[in-house]
Amino acid sequence: MRNLLLLFSLTLTQLSIGQNANNLYATGDSLYKAKEYKNAAVAFATGIREEGKEASINRYWSLASNWSLAGETDSAFHYLNVITLSDKVNKVQATDIENDKDFIPVKNDKRWKPLIAKIQNQAEKNGYLQEEFVYGRKDGMGLTLILIRPKVSPNGKAIISVQSGSWISRYNGIEINTQAMEQYLKKGYTMFAVMHGSSPRYAIPDAISDLKRAIRYIRYNAGKFGIDPDHIGITGGSAGGHLSLAVATADDKMNTTAPDPVDRVSSRVQAIAVLFPPTDLLNWGGPGLNFVNAKQILLINKAWGPVEFRVFNDKTRLYEEVTDTAARSKIGIEISPINFVSKDDPPVFIIHGDADPTVPVQQSKSIIARFNEAGVPNRFIIKKGGKHNGDDMYPEWQEFVDWFDKYLK
């Protein structure tokens, strides 16, 4: 096997012409897991060569780390030096590179600290002005979002980026990774990175409610943020895509008598573009496969938290778990965007890989069929070989900004 892998590394460059960069990266990931670091580095290098200038910082990072693990110190520093000159690297990546255990073999090299300092300085130059706001409160805690302003002249339009994976909103400080937002910021969009009440403390219905509150808050404060309240788009991937669709397809029920003026405005958005979203939790991958009642499977996969539904009992003054399968299915219907598609929904763009092992592509196919039936403008790309990974969605992902340009005009 080792001889075969060595032969692969020697011939990979020759075979690179016409190869798919994503396939090469996938090969690199597999070789990394097999601890074949030199071969993994060659795969990543070939993928970067195929992708050209569109290759992300994460690809160079992976390449450098594999050379580090392979004991090829000079090669590792060569590609880390490439990062020091990039206009793509951001502060989050700079910190994560510094703390990456894969670089332990090179951290005693005298070049390490000066190079990390250069990466941090470059990230500082590349950074965007970010400011945190509390958009709501519950259970004595604040719900927060990050306003990210473009460096170019603002176009007066906003895009909400839902920070959610597996319905978990991870937040490591005010500096949000802006890599996925670059295409919007460069066109003058004002970005809002929204965190929601997160699994396992809060389930999906809570996250949907939080996101609606965030949209209302942004719209209510449109003047302060310098945006048009009628030009708000939304984007997200996986759980973030699901939540985006959930609010985009929901009926716009406003409480005009609410004590809080924020709750008196609309939570509607005007355009949506998402990656590989769950859409139908009662038909997961096919008719009748009920996601919300598959407790044992979800527990094994550590994915039960988002659907551990609880309701408040007025008598006990406690939140109690919903265990009845019929009641759970009813909630599953209510949180599945496919059940609320209507002709007044905003235009929708979805990209989903046909090799996604996490969210079946059927989830996107099904809701796109409903959008077509309702006459809602939409675009659907099935990414051949694409898995549950944003990097697999390039270059098509970069067309999201064109979608918002078209429908937030």
Same domain, 183 and 219: yes
CATH of the domain at 22: 1.25.40
The 10s digit of each residue's pLDDT in 96-145 is 999 999 999 999 999 999 999 999 999 888 888 899 999 999 999 999 99
- Identify the CA nearest to 23 among candidates 53, 44, 42, 52: 44
Same domain, 115 and 144: no
Same domain, 205 and 262: yes
State yes or no: pLDDT of 320 exceeds 50. yes
Same domain, 113 and 134: no
- Alpha-carbon distance of 275 to 322, in angstroms, equals 30
pLDDT at 221: 98
> Which pTM value belongs to this model?
0.82
Angle 103-105-108 from CA coordinates, rounded to 5°: 95
Same domain, 223 and 150: yes
The domain in which residue 11 lies consists of 2-126
State yes or no: pLDDT of 148 exceeds 60. yes
Same domain, 309 and 386: yes
Distances in Å between the Cα of 331 and the Cα atoms of 66, 252, 293, 302, 360 are: 46, 19, 11, 20, 21
Q: By mean pLDDT, which of 164-178, 224-238, 367-381 is the weakest?
A: 164-178
* Domain final position from 99, 126, 153: 126
Same domain, 147 and 27: no
- Alpha-carbon distance of 137 to 143, in angstroms, equals 6
Same domain, 289 and 365: yes
Q: Which pairs with CB-CB distance under 8 Å and at least 24 residues apart come from 378-384?
A: 378/347, 378/348, 378/349, 378/350, 379/348, 379/349, 379/350, 379/403, 380/349, 380/350, 380/351, 380/352, 381/350, 381/351, 381/352, 382/352, 382/353, 382/354, 383/351, 383/352, 383/353, 383/354, 384/353, 384/354
CATH of the domain at 370: 3.40.50.1820
Total domains, the chain: 2
Per the CB < 8 A criterion, the answer to whether 181 and 161 are in contact is yes
Scanning the structure block, which residue is given the tokens 């597996």?
Answer: 166
State yes or no: pLDDT of 17 exceeds 70. no
* Domain final position from 126, 147, 165: 126
Same domain, 178 and 228: yes
pLDDT at 174: 62
Section 43-49 average pLDDT: 94
* Domain final position from 126, 142, 159: 126
pLDDT at 20: 82
Same domain, 104 and 136: no
State yes or no: pLDDT of 12 exceeds 70. no
